[in-house]
Chain A
Amino acid sequence: MKEGFRQSMAWLHTWSGLLVGWVLMLIFMAGTSSYYRDEITLWMKPELHQTAISPVTQAMAADQAARALQKRAPDSERWFVSLPSGREPALQTMWAPPAGEEKAKGKGRRRFEEALLDPASGAELADARSTRGGDFFYRLHFDLHYMPVPVARWIVGICAMSMLVAILSGIVTHKRIFKDFFTFRPRKGQRSWLDFHNVSAVLALPFHLMITYTGLVTLMFMYMPWGVKVAYNNNDKAFFAELFPGSPKGPKAAGVAAPLTPLGPVIAHASQAWGGAPAGRIVVDFPNDAAATIAVTRQEGHGVSSDLPTLIYDGVTGRPLPSPDAGRGAAVETRGVMYGLHIGRFADPLLRALFFISGLAGCAMVATGLLLWAVKEKPKHLKAGRIGFGLRLVEGLNIGAVAGLPVAMAAYFWANRLLPVGLAERPAAEAGWFFTAWAVAMVAGLAWPSRPMWRLQLLAGGMLFALLPVLNGATGGAHLLVSIPNGLWALAGFDGVTLLIGGLLLYASMRLGRAPVAKTRLAGNAA
């Protein structure tokens, strides 16, 4: 290390950030939007918007679910019920087909039947369009697409590790963290980009460190399986069974018919035990049998850990039974908290919004970092008289990632509303629009890496995002004039945020159109 510690750290920061920056852009954008995954899914099912207007109590919804399931699957071995919440207004029911029927159908994995119900009437909401909704972005941010899941997770893991290295070396490189804590000097070319990169990194530093580190922890069993392999003799299943005990293994139906207790009082009891936090999921084992049990799991959003508490009740008497949660080790709790922190599942609206803002800051940090490399490199190439291949490549990829991804995300939302409702393989077609739009943006960016291309793609992304609230109203969704008076904040929030993002992208496109400031030493990404 001839050049000294700080220089070598700066080198490390540059390359660990640049080489994975474009994938990180995808991970950060998709991951940030995953904080509002349920809201996105709801928005993408306009058929459900009307249901959301008349909320019912949890006890009523649970009784409607029980009534519907009694009608459809009284002989099933197991029912699953997800109670409606502010983020997901429909009542979801699933049930396992009776054992005999399943065998008759032949081998293969056990298939569950499912139905979405209106929580007020119990009527089936079968006509909601099929879409992956917000889950698409959630999966995209660690499973990518068009490749086997293990490969994708290794790629994402390597990128996350690189990101961690970039953050830590960035802290060392940044000599003036406290002196420049609030410093942003606009319209000064490279200086402004660096200031913005620093501010977006430093102000949300706890979040960036946490999200990168906990992201690695969520997949740690895959990246570092050796401890488990040694301790459990290569038997992963034994490990997970011990770690996350499900319902006690091997209970059998008594074979004696007995009426199921009403679900309403059971969830009221559970809710009381959690200090008023509502129930989220109900699992009924062997309904209408003397050995029936009811497992009630708390709704997400009322504690930091991702492992949600569950209470078990006797299905005939409705009396509480011993809980499976007792006696968790500290390491399990720690992992649960880390996982919970990463996905922000515990977060109420305020915390969730703060996470979302921090996530956007992360996007801005990665984007400005990528831009900085090009801005710094440019003068050397201009001096030499020709733009080299490396710079051209980076500039093209920057356009495709920073300006192209918003276009692709907006295209996904447009596809959701414009594709015919009955289309076969509809979710795949929606994803197809996302990747087609992104591929076009990438190719165009690589072919013409210039300022007009930046402007064009920012303009396209801005228009597509800003017009989403209009599209929502025009294609049968609850638009802002309906959603706000009715208190549908999930939908109003979606429309409001897309409007805001669209506005920002349009502003950026407009700003790039102005002539560069005379004093600017380097003209940003001028062609």
Chain B
Amino acid sequence: MTSLYAVVTGCAAVAGAFSGFAFLGLAMDRHWADVHGRGTEPSPAQRRRLRWFGCGQLLLSLLACLALRGSSQGWVLWLGALTAAGWMAVLMLTYAVRRVPRSGIAAGSLALLGAGVAVLVR
């Protein structure tokens, strides 16, 4: 396993977990309203899209963890990554909520990029 592979897969694992939580958070009324103003809520289509993106990113993170550490340690790593990413999401949704949509997209792109590079260099 080359170190480049390990680094990009690790990026995909952590960034994917964070962006997944960011999207899932934005799909909730409370956090959506924090970003877009009181009383607003996402349209059903928007909500569905956010949830799909969120779940997709969490899945990507899981796959990256399994690729990185195998099927036993991979699950442990994924749960750990979810915990750390969850804390990041809570802190951002509380103290920097307006930056959440962009950070989510940036982290999601990073995760996809990392996964792409990982597939190429493997």
Contacts and interface: CB of A to CB of B under 8 A. Distances in A.
Q: Which 7 A-B pairs have the closest CB atoms?
A: A354-B80, A203-B86, A206-B79, A184-B94, A182-B25, A204-B83, A182-B93
A351 B73 contact: yes
Contacts of B82: 203
B63 interface: no
Contacts of A241: none
Contacts of A442: none
B73 A304 contact: yes
A226 B84 CA distance: 41
Contact of A186 (B30, B84, B86, B94): B94
Contact of A184 (B21, B81, B90): B90
A354 B83 contact: yes
Interface in B57-112: 72-73, 76-77, 79-84, 86-87, 89-90, 93-94
Interface extent on A, as a size class?
A: 20 to 34
Interface of A is mostly: helix
A185 B94 CA distance: 7
Contacts of B73: 303-304, 346, 351
B4 interface: no
A341 interface: yes
A182 B77 contact: no
Interface string A282-309: 0000000000000000000001100000
Contact of A351 (B80, B86, B87): B80
A341 to B, nearest CB: 7
B84 A354 contact: yes
Contacts of A303: 73
Interface string B19-50: 00100110010110000000000000000000
Interface of B: 10, 21, 24-25, 28, 30-31, 72-73, 76-77, 79-84, 86-87, 89-90, 93-94
A351 B87 CA distance: 16
Given A304-B73, A350-B77, A354-B77, A182 B83 contact: no
A355 B80 contact: yes
A493 B65 CA distance: 25
A346 B101 CA distance: 36
Contacts of A357: 80, 83-84, 87
Contacts of A346: 73
Contacts of B25: 181-182
Given A203-B87, A351-B73, A182 B80 contact: no
Contacts of A182: 21, 25, 28, 31, 86, 89-90, 93
B77 A351 contact: yes
23 contacts: A181-B25, A182-B21, A182-B93, A183-B90, A185-B94, A199-B90, A203-B82, A203-B83, A203-B90, A206-B83, A207-B80, A207-B83, A303-B73, A304-B73, A341-B76, A350-B77, A351-B73, A354-B77, A354-B81, A357-B84, A358-B80, A358-B83, A361-B87
A179 interface: yes
Task: Name the residue in A181, A182, A185, A337 with the highest tally of chain B Cβ atoms < 10 Å from its Cβ.
Answer: A182
Contacts, number: 59
Interface in A158-205: 179, 181-186, 199, 203-204
Contacts of B81: 354
Nearest to B73: A304
Contacts of B90: 182-184, 199, 203
Task: Name the residue in A181, A341, A357, A361 with the highest tally of chain B Cβ atoms < 10 Å from its Cβ.
Answer: A181
Contacts of A341: 76
B47 to A, nearest CB: 14
A361 B86 CA distance: 12
Given A182-B28, A304-B72, A350-B77, 16 more contacts: A181-B24, A181-B28, A182-B31, A183-B30, A186-B94, A203-B83, A203-B90, A206-B79, A207-B83, A341-B76, A351-B80, A354-B77, A354-B83, A354-B84, A355-B80, A361-B87
Contacts of A185: 94
A206 to B, nearest CB: 5
A206 B79 CA distance: 7
Task: Name the residue in B25, B76, B82, B93 with the highest tally of chain A Cβ atoms < 10 Å from its Cβ.
Answer: B76
B26 to A, nearest CB: 10
Nearest to A358: B83
Interface in A429-467: none
A179 B94 contact: no
Interface in A334-351: 337, 341, 346, 350-351
Nearest to B94: A184
Interface string A264-294: 0000000000000000000000000000000
Interface in A9-25: none
A434 B27 CA distance: 48
Nearest to A205: B83
Given A182-B90, A184-B94, A204-B83, A304 B28 contact: no
